[in-house]
Structure 1
Amino acid sequence: MTSPYILLENVNLHYSSVAFKERSLKTLLGNILTGNKKKNAVQDVHALKNINLEVRAGERVGLLGHNGAGKSTFLKMAADLYPISSGRRIIKGNVRSLFDLSLGFEPDATGRENIFYRGLLLGLSPRLLREIEEEVVAFADLGEFIDYPIKTYSAGMQVRLAFAISTAVGGDIMLIDEVIGAGDARFMVKAKKRILDLVEQAKILVLASHDFSALQTICQRGVVFHRGEIVFDGEITEAVKTYKRVNGIGA
Protein backbone atom coordinates (compact mmCIF):
# COMPACT_ATOMS: atom_id res chain seq x y z
CA MET A 1 0.00 0.00 0.00
CA THR A 2 1.33 3.43 -0.97
CA SER A 3 2.07 5.75 1.95
CA PRO A 4 -0.09 8.89 1.98
CA TYR A 5 1.50 12.06 0.69
CA ILE A 6 0.77 15.50 -0.70
CA LEU A 7 2.63 16.78 -3.74
CA LEU A 8 2.03 20.23 -5.20
CA GLU A 9 4.05 21.59 -8.11
CA ASN A 10 3.68 25.17 -9.39
CA VAL A 11 0.05 25.24 -8.25
CA ASN A 12 -1.94 28.39 -8.96
CA LEU A 13 -5.51 29.06 -7.96
CA HIS A 14 -7.70 31.95 -9.09
CA TYR A 15 -11.07 33.06 -7.79
CA SER A 16 -13.18 34.08 -10.76
CA SER A 17 -14.30 37.71 -10.79
CA VAL A 18 -17.82 36.38 -11.44
CA ALA A 19 -18.03 35.50 -7.74
CA PHE A 20 -17.49 39.15 -6.81
CA LYS A 21 -19.59 40.87 -9.48
CA GLU A 22 -22.66 42.86 -8.47
CA ARG A 23 -25.77 40.74 -8.67
CA SER A 24 -28.17 43.66 -8.14
CA LEU A 25 -29.84 44.81 -11.37
CA LYS A 26 -30.40 48.23 -9.80
CA THR A 27 -26.69 48.67 -9.08
CA LEU A 28 -25.73 47.34 -12.50
CA LEU A 29 -28.01 49.83 -14.26
CA GLY A 30 -26.74 52.60 -12.00
CA ASN A 31 -23.14 51.85 -12.93
CA ILE A 32 -24.00 51.88 -16.62
CA LEU A 33 -25.87 55.19 -16.38
CA THR A 34 -23.10 56.84 -14.37
CA GLY A 35 -20.32 55.46 -16.54
CA ASN A 36 -18.77 53.40 -13.74
CA LYS A 37 -18.83 50.07 -15.56
CA LYS A 38 -15.12 49.99 -16.42
CA LYS A 39 -14.05 51.81 -13.30
CA ASN A 40 -15.70 49.26 -11.04
CA ALA A 41 -14.60 46.18 -12.98
CA VAL A 42 -13.37 43.42 -10.67
CA GLN A 43 -10.37 41.34 -11.67
CA ASP A 44 -9.87 37.64 -10.94
CA VAL A 45 -8.15 37.07 -7.59
CA HIS A 46 -4.86 35.16 -7.73
CA ALA A 47 -5.37 33.42 -4.38
CA LEU A 48 -2.48 30.90 -4.49
CA LYS A 49 0.69 31.63 -6.43
CA ASN A 50 3.20 29.03 -7.64
CA ILE A 51 2.82 26.73 -4.66
CA ASN A 52 5.46 24.01 -4.40
CA LEU A 53 5.12 21.70 -1.42
CA GLU A 54 5.65 18.06 -0.54
CA VAL A 55 4.35 16.47 2.66
CA ARG A 56 5.03 12.84 3.48
CA ALA A 57 3.74 10.33 6.01
CA GLY A 58 4.66 11.14 9.59
CA GLU A 59 4.78 14.90 9.12
CA ARG A 60 2.88 17.45 11.21
CA VAL A 61 2.77 20.74 9.33
CA GLY A 62 1.56 24.07 10.70
CA LEU A 63 0.31 26.81 8.37
CA LEU A 64 0.91 30.40 9.41
CA GLY A 65 -0.25 33.65 7.85
CA HIS A 66 -2.51 36.61 8.54
CA ASN A 67 -6.17 36.48 7.55
CA GLY A 68 -6.38 36.42 3.76
CA ALA A 69 -2.82 35.17 3.30
CA GLY A 70 -3.99 31.91 1.70
CA LYS A 71 -4.05 29.33 4.51
CA SER A 72 -7.73 28.41 4.32
CA THR A 73 -7.71 28.48 0.53
CA PHE A 74 -4.72 26.15 0.58
CA LEU A 75 -6.52 23.68 2.85
CA LYS A 76 -9.66 23.68 0.70
CA MET A 77 -7.53 23.18 -2.39
CA ALA A 78 -5.73 20.26 -0.71
CA ALA A 79 -9.14 18.79 0.20
CA ASP A 80 -10.07 19.01 -3.50
CA LEU A 81 -12.88 21.47 -2.78
CA TYR A 82 -11.32 24.15 -4.99
CA PRO A 83 -10.06 23.41 -8.52
CA ILE A 84 -6.56 24.60 -9.34
CA SER A 85 -5.93 26.93 -12.27
CA SER A 86 -2.58 25.42 -13.23
CA GLY A 87 0.18 23.17 -11.94
CA ARG A 88 0.07 19.65 -10.55
CA ARG A 89 -1.73 18.40 -7.44
CA ILE A 90 -1.31 14.81 -6.24
CA ILE A 91 -2.97 13.73 -2.99
CA LYS A 92 -2.61 10.08 -1.99
CA GLY A 93 -4.54 8.80 1.00
CA ASN A 94 -7.90 9.16 2.70
CA VAL A 95 -8.44 12.89 3.39
CA ARG A 96 -10.54 14.16 6.29
CA SER A 97 -11.04 17.91 6.71
CA LEU A 98 -12.25 19.84 9.74
CA PHE A 99 -13.65 23.13 8.47
CA ASP A 100 -16.89 24.49 7.03
CA LEU A 101 -18.86 22.83 9.82
CA SER A 102 -22.15 24.39 8.68
CA LEU A 103 -21.92 22.79 5.23
CA GLY A 104 -24.38 20.06 4.30
CA PHE A 105 -27.25 20.55 6.75
CA GLU A 106 -30.88 20.34 5.60
CA PRO A 107 -32.83 22.75 7.88
CA ASP A 108 -36.17 20.94 7.63
CA ALA A 109 -34.68 17.51 8.38
CA THR A 110 -34.01 16.22 11.87
CA GLY A 111 -30.57 16.06 13.43
CA ARG A 112 -30.59 12.28 13.06
CA GLU A 113 -31.46 12.54 9.35
CA ASN A 114 -28.73 15.13 8.90
CA ILE A 115 -26.14 12.68 10.18
CA PHE A 116 -26.71 10.82 6.91
CA TYR A 117 -26.97 13.91 4.71
CA ARG A 118 -23.74 15.43 5.98
CA GLY A 119 -22.00 12.07 6.23
CA LEU A 120 -22.72 11.32 2.58
CA LEU A 121 -21.39 14.76 1.67
CA LEU A 122 -18.19 13.88 3.53
CA GLY A 123 -17.86 10.73 1.45
CA LEU A 124 -18.92 8.21 4.09
CA SER A 125 -20.89 5.16 2.98
CA PRO A 126 -24.50 4.54 4.11
CA ARG A 127 -23.36 1.32 5.79
CA LEU A 128 -20.68 3.11 7.81
CA LEU A 129 -23.10 5.89 8.73
CA ARG A 130 -25.54 3.34 10.12
CA GLU A 131 -22.73 1.85 12.19
CA ILE A 132 -21.60 5.16 13.70
CA GLU A 133 -25.04 6.81 14.04
CA GLU A 134 -25.54 6.13 17.74
CA GLU A 135 -21.96 7.09 18.57
CA VAL A 136 -22.48 10.44 16.81
CA VAL A 137 -25.77 10.97 18.65
CA ALA A 138 -24.12 10.24 21.99
CA PHE A 139 -21.13 12.51 21.32
CA ALA A 140 -23.27 15.46 20.19
CA ASP A 141 -25.29 15.06 23.40
CA LEU A 142 -28.37 16.92 22.13
CA GLY A 143 -30.92 14.81 23.98
CA GLU A 144 -34.38 14.75 22.43
CA PHE A 145 -33.40 17.51 20.03
CA ILE A 146 -31.61 14.95 17.85
CA ASP A 147 -35.07 14.11 16.47
CA TYR A 148 -36.08 17.76 16.00
CA PRO A 149 -35.56 19.70 12.73
CA ILE A 150 -32.18 21.44 12.43
CA LYS A 151 -33.94 24.78 11.97
CA THR A 152 -34.97 24.61 15.64
CA TYR A 153 -31.33 24.33 16.77
CA SER A 154 -29.20 27.13 18.16
CA ALA A 155 -25.93 27.87 16.35
CA GLY A 156 -24.02 26.06 19.09
CA MET A 157 -26.17 22.94 18.79
CA GLN A 158 -25.60 22.84 15.03
CA VAL A 159 -21.85 23.12 15.50
CA ARG A 160 -21.86 20.33 18.07
CA LEU A 161 -23.71 17.98 15.75
CA ALA A 162 -21.56 18.93 12.77
CA PHE A 163 -18.40 18.41 14.82
CA ALA A 164 -19.60 15.01 16.01
CA ILE A 165 -20.28 13.90 12.43
CA SER A 166 -17.11 15.36 10.92
CA THR A 167 -14.82 13.77 13.50
CA ALA A 168 -16.54 10.39 13.83
CA VAL A 169 -14.11 8.85 11.34
CA GLY A 170 -10.44 9.71 11.00
CA GLY A 171 -8.29 9.68 7.89
CA ASP A 172 -4.74 9.23 6.62
CA ILE A 173 -4.52 12.98 5.99
CA MET A 174 -6.11 15.42 8.45
CA LEU A 175 -6.66 19.03 7.34
CA ILE A 176 -7.71 21.32 10.20
CA ASP A 177 -8.52 25.03 9.99
CA GLU A 178 -8.19 26.86 13.30
CA VAL A 179 -9.53 25.81 16.69
CA ILE A 180 -13.22 24.96 16.64
CA GLY A 181 -15.59 26.50 19.15
CA ALA A 182 -18.10 23.73 19.70
CA GLY A 183 -20.39 24.68 22.53
CA ASP A 184 -20.07 24.75 26.31
CA ALA A 185 -16.94 24.06 28.35
CA ARG A 186 -17.81 20.40 28.98
CA PHE A 187 -18.27 19.74 25.28
CA MET A 188 -15.06 21.62 24.42
CA VAL A 189 -13.10 19.20 26.61
CA LYS A 190 -14.49 16.28 24.60
CA ALA A 191 -13.91 18.12 21.33
CA LYS A 192 -10.26 18.89 22.05
CA LYS A 193 -9.60 15.30 23.14
CA ARG A 194 -11.17 13.96 19.96
CA ILE A 195 -9.10 16.30 17.79
CA LEU A 196 -5.92 15.17 19.54
CA ASP A 197 -6.92 11.52 19.04
CA LEU A 198 -7.48 12.14 15.31
CA VAL A 199 -4.16 13.96 15.06
CA GLU A 200 -2.44 11.03 16.76
CA GLN A 201 -4.02 8.53 14.37
CA ALA A 202 -3.44 10.51 11.17
CA LYS A 203 -0.35 9.83 9.12
CA ILE A 204 -0.25 13.44 7.89
CA LEU A 205 -1.55 16.54 9.68
CA VAL A 206 -1.83 20.01 8.18
CA LEU A 207 -3.05 22.55 10.73
CA ALA A 208 -3.77 26.24 10.11
CA SER A 209 -3.83 28.35 13.26
CA HIS A 210 -2.90 31.67 14.84
CA ASP A 211 -2.10 29.88 18.10
CA PHE A 212 1.69 29.76 18.04
CA SER A 213 1.86 27.69 21.23
CA ALA A 214 -0.42 24.98 19.80
CA LEU A 215 1.49 24.94 16.51
CA GLN A 216 4.85 24.56 18.24
CA THR A 217 3.47 21.81 20.48
CA ILE A 218 1.83 19.75 17.74
CA CYS A 219 3.87 20.51 14.60
CA GLN A 220 7.53 20.13 13.73
CA ARG A 221 7.36 21.90 10.36
CA GLY A 222 5.93 25.32 9.56
CA VAL A 223 4.84 26.87 6.27
CA VAL A 224 4.32 30.64 6.17
CA PHE A 225 1.91 32.17 3.66
CA HIS A 226 1.97 35.82 2.60
CA ARG A 227 -0.28 37.25 -0.11
CA GLY A 228 -0.95 33.80 -1.55
CA GLU A 229 2.70 32.72 -1.68
CA ILE A 230 4.84 30.45 0.49
CA VAL A 231 7.58 32.64 1.94
CA PHE A 232 9.03 30.09 4.36
CA ASP A 233 9.03 26.30 4.76
CA GLY A 234 11.06 24.81 7.57
CA GLU A 235 11.34 24.21 11.30
CA ILE A 236 8.24 25.42 13.18
CA THR A 237 10.06 27.77 15.57
CA GLU A 238 11.75 29.52 12.66
CA ALA A 239 8.41 29.65 10.86
CA VAL A 240 6.88 31.56 13.78
CA LYS A 241 9.80 34.01 13.73
CA THR A 242 9.39 34.48 9.98
CA TYR A 243 5.64 35.08 10.32
CA LYS A 244 6.25 37.78 12.95
CA ARG A 245 8.99 39.42 10.88
CA VAL A 246 6.93 39.43 7.66
CA ASN A 247 3.93 40.92 9.44
CA GLY A 248 5.86 43.41 11.57
CA ILE A 249 5.03 41.78 14.89
CA GLY A 250 7.41 42.22 17.79
CA ALA A 251 8.87 39.18 19.54
Structure 2
Amino acid sequence: MASIELERVNVDFPLFSSRSRGLLNTLLGKAQGHRGRIEDIGHGAIAVRALRDVTLSLKDGDRMGLIGRNGAGKSTMLRVLSSVYEPTSGVMRSDGHISSLIDLMLGMDPDASGYEFIATRCIVMGISSKDAKGLVTDIEDFTELGDYLHLPVRTYSSGMMLRLAFAVSTAVAPDILLMDEMIGVGDAQFIDKARIRLENMMSKVKILVLASHNDSILKTFCNTGIWLNEGQILMQGSIENCLAAYHGN
Protein backbone atom coordinates (compact mmCIF):
# COMPACT_ATOMS: atom_id res chain seq x y z
CA MET A 1 0.00 0.00 0.00
CA ALA A 2 1.63 3.23 -1.16
CA SER A 3 0.71 6.66 0.11
CA ILE A 4 2.01 10.20 0.15
CA GLU A 5 0.76 13.16 2.18
CA LEU A 6 1.50 16.84 2.55
CA GLU A 7 0.06 18.61 5.58
CA ARG A 8 0.05 22.43 5.57
CA VAL A 9 3.40 22.53 3.75
CA ASN A 10 5.17 25.82 3.11
CA VAL A 11 8.44 26.22 1.19
CA ASP A 12 10.37 29.49 1.40
CA PHE A 13 13.43 30.54 -0.57
CA PRO A 14 15.28 33.36 1.25
CA LEU A 15 16.43 36.12 -1.11
CA PHE A 16 17.59 39.41 0.36
CA SER A 17 17.92 41.25 3.62
CA SER A 18 15.36 43.95 4.39
CA ARG A 19 17.93 46.56 3.30
CA SER A 20 17.51 45.27 -0.24
CA ARG A 21 13.71 45.50 -0.31
CA GLY A 22 13.80 48.44 -2.73
CA LEU A 23 16.06 46.55 -5.13
CA LEU A 24 13.87 43.46 -4.86
CA ASN A 25 10.71 45.40 -5.72
CA THR A 26 12.51 47.00 -8.66
CA LEU A 27 13.57 43.60 -9.99
CA LEU A 28 10.09 42.15 -9.67
CA GLY A 29 8.38 45.22 -11.10
CA LYS A 30 4.89 46.20 -10.12
CA ALA A 31 3.16 42.83 -10.75
CA GLN A 32 0.90 42.34 -7.73
CA GLY A 33 0.92 38.55 -8.18
CA HIS A 34 4.67 38.35 -7.76
CA ARG A 35 4.75 40.78 -4.86
CA GLY A 36 2.16 38.65 -3.08
CA ARG A 37 4.67 35.82 -2.84
CA ILE A 38 7.35 37.99 -1.24
CA GLU A 39 7.22 37.80 2.53
CA ASP A 40 9.14 39.14 5.49
CA ILE A 41 10.15 35.98 7.36
CA GLY A 42 11.73 37.80 10.28
CA HIS A 43 15.20 38.85 11.37
CA GLY A 44 15.39 41.27 8.45
CA ALA A 45 15.11 38.52 5.81
CA ILE A 46 12.85 38.42 2.78
CA ALA A 47 11.80 35.20 1.02
CA VAL A 48 9.77 33.93 -1.89
CA ARG A 49 7.09 31.53 -0.68
CA ALA A 50 7.18 28.86 -3.38
CA LEU A 51 4.47 26.74 -1.73
CA ARG A 52 1.83 28.10 0.61
CA ASP A 53 -0.16 25.94 3.06
CA VAL A 54 -0.38 22.93 0.69
CA THR A 55 -2.29 19.87 1.91
CA LEU A 56 -2.95 16.73 -0.12
CA SER A 57 -3.28 12.97 0.32
CA LEU A 58 -2.58 10.33 -2.35
CA LYS A 59 -3.11 6.56 -2.21
CA ASP A 60 -2.90 3.50 -4.44
CA GLY A 61 -4.46 4.13 -7.83
CA ASP A 62 -4.14 7.91 -7.76
CA ARG A 63 -2.78 9.50 -10.94
CA MET A 64 -2.46 13.19 -10.15
CA GLY A 65 -1.78 15.90 -12.70
CA LEU A 66 -0.26 19.20 -11.60
CA ILE A 67 -1.75 22.13 -13.51
CA GLY A 68 -0.61 25.74 -13.58
CA ARG A 69 1.45 28.39 -15.31
CA ASN A 70 5.23 28.51 -15.19
CA GLY A 71 6.24 29.50 -11.68
CA ALA A 72 3.00 28.24 -10.12
CA GLY A 73 4.88 25.83 -7.84
CA LYS A 74 4.58 22.54 -9.75
CA SER A 75 8.29 21.69 -9.84
CA THR A 76 8.72 22.79 -6.22
CA MET A 77 5.94 20.43 -5.16
CA LEU A 78 7.56 17.56 -7.05
CA ARG A 79 10.87 18.24 -5.33
CA VAL A 80 9.16 18.28 -1.94
CA LEU A 81 7.49 14.95 -2.72
CA SER A 82 10.86 13.49 -3.75
CA SER A 83 12.52 14.89 -0.56
CA VAL A 84 14.90 17.08 -2.58
CA TYR A 85 13.37 20.12 -0.83
CA GLU A 86 12.52 20.03 2.85
CA PRO A 87 9.40 21.99 3.83
CA THR A 88 10.04 25.23 5.71
CA SER A 89 7.02 24.25 7.78
CA GLY A 90 4.44 21.51 7.63
CA VAL A 91 4.90 17.77 7.18
CA MET A 92 5.53 15.40 4.26
CA ARG A 93 4.84 11.69 4.82
CA SER A 94 5.26 8.82 2.36
CA ASP A 95 5.04 5.05 2.29
CA GLY A 96 6.58 3.22 -0.65
CA HIS A 97 9.58 3.55 -2.95
CA ILE A 98 9.64 6.92 -4.73
CA SER A 99 11.39 7.48 -8.06
CA SER A 100 11.77 10.92 -9.60
CA LEU A 101 12.34 11.62 -13.29
CA ILE A 102 13.00 15.29 -12.53
CA ASP A 103 16.81 15.25 -12.23
CA LEU A 104 17.96 12.46 -14.54
CA MET A 105 21.61 13.55 -14.37
CA LEU A 106 21.82 13.26 -10.57
CA GLY A 107 24.83 11.09 -9.71
CA MET A 108 26.60 11.70 -13.02
CA ASP A 109 30.39 11.69 -12.51
CA PRO A 110 31.94 12.85 -15.81
CA ASP A 111 34.99 10.64 -15.30
CA ALA A 112 32.97 7.50 -14.56
CA SER A 113 32.35 4.93 -17.26
CA GLY A 114 28.83 4.19 -18.42
CA TYR A 115 28.82 1.02 -16.34
CA GLU A 116 30.02 2.92 -13.27
CA PHE A 117 27.29 5.47 -13.78
CA ILE A 118 24.70 2.68 -13.88
CA ALA A 119 25.90 1.46 -10.49
CA THR A 120 25.98 4.99 -8.99
CA ARG A 121 22.58 5.98 -10.32
CA CYS A 122 21.07 2.75 -8.97
CA ILE A 123 22.44 3.58 -5.51
CA VAL A 124 20.86 7.04 -5.74
CA MET A 125 17.56 5.35 -6.63
CA GLY A 126 17.80 3.01 -3.63
CA ILE A 127 18.45 -0.13 -5.71
CA SER A 128 20.73 -2.74 -4.14
CA SER A 129 24.03 -3.66 -5.78
CA LYS A 130 22.73 -7.17 -6.47
CA ASP A 131 19.56 -5.91 -8.14
CA ALA A 132 21.53 -3.31 -10.10
CA LYS A 133 23.69 -6.02 -11.65
CA GLY A 134 20.53 -7.76 -12.83
CA LEU A 135 19.46 -4.62 -14.69
CA VAL A 136 22.64 -4.16 -16.72
CA THR A 137 21.63 -6.33 -19.68
CA ASP A 138 18.30 -4.52 -20.06
CA ILE A 139 20.04 -1.13 -19.90
CA GLU A 140 22.68 -2.23 -22.43
CA ASP A 141 20.01 -3.35 -24.87
CA PHE A 142 17.80 -0.31 -24.41
CA THR A 143 20.52 2.35 -24.72
CA GLU A 144 22.21 0.75 -27.76
CA LEU A 145 25.43 2.40 -26.59
CA GLY A 146 27.56 -0.73 -27.03
CA ASP A 147 31.26 -0.24 -26.26
CA TYR A 148 30.66 3.38 -25.25
CA LEU A 149 29.52 2.02 -21.87
CA HIS A 150 33.18 1.26 -21.15
CA LEU A 151 34.20 4.89 -21.80
CA PRO A 152 33.98 7.93 -19.47
CA VAL A 153 30.62 9.62 -19.79
CA ARG A 154 32.42 12.94 -20.43
CA THR A 155 33.09 11.56 -23.93
CA TYR A 156 29.35 11.15 -24.57
CA SER A 157 27.19 13.55 -26.51
CA SER A 158 24.36 15.15 -24.52
CA GLY A 159 21.91 12.81 -26.23
CA MET A 160 23.92 9.74 -25.23
CA MET A 161 24.14 10.93 -21.62
CA LEU A 162 20.39 11.52 -21.42
CA ARG A 163 19.71 8.14 -23.03
CA LEU A 164 21.80 6.35 -20.41
CA ALA A 165 20.33 8.29 -17.48
CA PHE A 166 16.79 7.67 -18.77
CA ALA A 167 17.41 3.94 -19.24
CA VAL A 168 18.65 3.50 -15.67
CA SER A 169 15.91 5.68 -14.18
CA THR A 170 13.17 3.65 -15.90
CA ALA A 171 14.69 0.20 -15.38
CA VAL A 172 12.51 -0.53 -12.34
CA ALA A 173 8.93 0.58 -11.71
CA PRO A 174 8.68 2.29 -8.30
CA ASP A 175 5.65 2.49 -6.03
CA ILE A 176 5.44 6.26 -6.57
CA LEU A 177 6.59 7.99 -9.78
CA LEU A 178 7.16 11.76 -10.01
CA MET A 179 7.54 13.43 -13.41
CA ASP A 180 7.93 16.96 -14.75
CA GLU A 181 6.60 16.83 -18.32
CA MET A 182 6.90 13.79 -20.58
CA ILE A 183 10.51 13.15 -21.51
CA GLY A 184 11.88 13.25 -25.04
CA VAL A 185 15.25 11.52 -25.06
CA GLY A 186 17.68 11.45 -27.96
CA ASP A 187 16.90 11.41 -31.66
CA ALA A 188 13.49 10.97 -33.29
CA GLN A 189 13.87 7.20 -33.72
CA PHE A 190 14.74 6.71 -30.07
CA ILE A 191 11.91 8.90 -28.72
CA ASP A 192 9.22 6.39 -29.72
CA LYS A 193 11.15 3.60 -28.02
CA ALA A 194 11.54 5.72 -24.89
CA ARG A 195 7.84 6.64 -24.84
CA ILE A 196 6.76 3.00 -24.95
CA ARG A 197 9.12 2.18 -22.06
CA LEU A 198 7.89 5.14 -20.06
CA GLU A 199 4.20 4.44 -20.65
CA ASN A 200 4.72 0.81 -19.61
CA MET A 201 6.39 1.98 -16.40
CA MET A 202 3.63 4.49 -15.67
CA SER A 203 1.00 1.76 -15.96
CA LYS A 204 2.71 -0.29 -13.24
CA VAL A 205 3.27 2.32 -10.53
CA LYS A 206 0.82 2.64 -7.64
CA ILE A 207 0.86 6.45 -7.53
CA LEU A 208 1.76 8.88 -10.33
CA VAL A 209 2.32 12.63 -10.00
CA LEU A 210 2.81 14.34 -13.36
CA ALA A 211 3.31 18.05 -14.03
CA SER A 212 2.55 19.06 -17.61
CA HIS A 213 1.23 21.86 -19.81
CA ASN A 214 -0.17 19.31 -22.26
CA ASP A 215 -3.89 18.69 -21.64
CA SER A 216 -3.95 15.54 -23.77
CA ILE A 217 -1.15 13.93 -21.77
CA LEU A 218 -2.79 14.86 -18.46
CA LYS A 219 -6.15 13.44 -19.55
CA THR A 220 -4.49 10.24 -20.82
CA PHE A 221 -2.47 9.43 -17.71
CA CYS A 222 -4.19 11.23 -14.81
CA ASN A 223 -7.52 10.72 -13.04
CA THR A 224 -7.22 13.56 -10.54
CA GLY A 225 -5.74 17.04 -10.68
CA ILE A 226 -4.51 19.98 -8.69
CA TRP A 227 -4.53 23.53 -10.03
CA LEU A 228 -1.66 25.53 -8.54
CA ASN A 229 -1.28 29.29 -8.68
CA GLU A 230 1.36 31.35 -6.86
CA GLY A 231 2.23 28.32 -4.74
CA GLN A 232 -1.33 27.71 -3.56
CA ILE A 233 -3.87 25.03 -4.45
CA LEU A 234 -6.81 26.78 -6.11
CA MET A 235 -8.68 23.59 -6.96
CA GLN A 236 -8.44 19.84 -6.43
CA GLY A 237 -10.69 17.28 -8.14
CA SER A 238 -11.07 15.29 -11.35
CA ILE A 239 -8.50 16.11 -14.02
CA GLU A 240 -11.26 17.19 -16.43
CA ASN A 241 -12.82 19.62 -13.95
CA CYS A 242 -9.47 21.09 -12.93
CA LEU A 243 -8.43 21.66 -16.54
CA ALA A 244 -11.78 23.25 -17.36
CA ALA A 245 -11.50 25.61 -14.39
CA TYR A 246 -7.88 26.47 -15.24
CA HIS A 247 -8.64 27.35 -18.85
CA GLY A 248 -11.82 29.18 -17.92
CA ASN A 249 -9.97 31.43 -15.50
TM-score by length of 2: 0.87
SS of 1:146 mapped into structure 2: helix
The reply on whether 1:170 has 2:167 as its aligned counterpart is no
Alignment match, 2:139: 136
Deviation, 1:128, is: 1.2
Alignment match, 2:62: 59
SS of 2:86 mapped into structure 1: coil
Deviation, 1:37, is: 5.6
Alignment match, 1:111: 114
Alignment match, 2:34: none
Residue identity (%):
40
Alignment match, 1:8: 6
Alignment match, 1:26: none
Q: Which one of the candidate residues 33, 48, 52 is aligned to 1:49?
A: 52
Alignment match, 2:82: 79
SS of 2:109 mapped into structure 1: coil
Q: Which has the higher strand share?
A: 2
Alignment match, 1:245: 248
Which amino acid counterpart does residue 180 of structure 2 have in structure 1?
A: D
CA contact (8 A) 1:15 1:47 kept: yes
Provide the rounded CA distance (Å) in 2 between the counterparts of 1:50 and 1:245: 24
SS of 1:194 mapped into structure 2: helix
Q: Which one of the candidate residues 186, 198, 204 is aligned to 1:195?
A: 198
Instruction: Describe the superposition over 1:23-55 as per-residue Cα deviations: whole angstroms up to 9, x where unpaired.
Output: xxxxxxxxxxxxx86644683221100001111
Instruction: Describe the superposition over 1:130-166 as per-residue Cα deviations: whole angstroms up to 9, x where unpaired.
Output: 1111211211111221111111111111100000010
Gaps of 5+ in 1: 22-35, 247-251
CA contact (8 A) 1:215 1:236 kept: yes
Alignment match, 2:29: none
CA contact (8 A) 1:68 1:227 kept: yes
Provide the rounded CA distance (Å) in 2 between the counterparts of 1:213 and 1:88: 32
Q: Which one of the candidate residues 213, 235, 240 is aligned to 2:238?
A: 235
Instruction: Describe the superposition over 1:164-219 as per-residue Cα deviations: whole angstroms up to 9, x where unpaired.
Output: 01011111111111011201122211211111111111111111111101111111
The reply on whether 1:186 has 2:189 as its aligned counterpart is yes
Provide the rounded CA distance (Å) in 1 between the counterparts of 2:248 and 2:87: 29
Provide the rounded CA distance (Å) in 2 between the counterparts of 1:75 and 1:193: 23
Deviation, 1:103, is: 1.7
The reply on whether 1:213 has 2:211 as its aligned counterpart is no
Deviation, 1:70, is: 0.6
Provide the rounded CA distance (Å) in 2 between the counterparts of 1:204 and 1:37: 43
Gaps of 5+ in 2: 25-44
Structure 1 residues 40 and 155, CA gap change in structure 2 (3 angstroms): same
Alignment match, 1:25: none
Provide the rounded CA distance (Å) in 2 between the counterparts of 1:238 and 1:175: 22
The reply on whether 1:148 has 2:151 as its aligned counterpart is yes
Which amino acid counterpart does residue 163 of structure 1 have in structure 2?
A: F
Provide the rounded CA distance (Å) in 1 between the counterparts of 2:6 and 2:59: 12
Which amino acid counterpart does residue 11 of structure 1 have in structure 2?
A: V
Provide the rounded CA distance (Å) in 1 between the counterparts of 2:20 and 2:10: 28
Which amino acid counterpart does residue 132 of structure 2 have in structure 1?
A: L
Deviation, 1:120, is: 1.1
Aligned residues: 228
Deviation, 1:75, is: 0.7
Across the aligned residues of Structure 1 and Structure 2, the Cα RMSD in angstroms comes to 1.7
